[in-house]
Amino acid sequence: MYYRLLDLQVPRYMATGYNDENKEELKESLISYLSADMDEDEEKELRNMTVEEIANIYDFEIEENNIKFEEL
């Protein structure tokens, strides 16, 4: 399975996590992106959430497909 994130605020597809092959990879990509402006405690909170919970909080929609998404 392949994943990508749609930023619902803009709306546009994120390069972060684009074509990650599982939800754990997608979660790590998203945390890496979001944690640039966070302290350790905030990042730790994200790590205790599911990728769906994180996406919901930050207004991202997770899309999935059986084949790779077209390159951005």
Q: Which of 8, 57, 11 is nearest to 34 (CA)?
A: 57
pTM of the predicted protein model:
0.90
The alpha carbon torsion through 9, 53, 15, 64 (nearest 10 deg) reads: -110
Distance CA 31, CA 54 (A): 8
Per-residue pLDDT of the chain (72 residues; tens, 9 = 90+): 999 999 999 999 999 999 999 999 999 999 999 998 899 999 999 999 999 999 999 999 999 999 999 987
Distance CA 38, CA 67 (A): 33
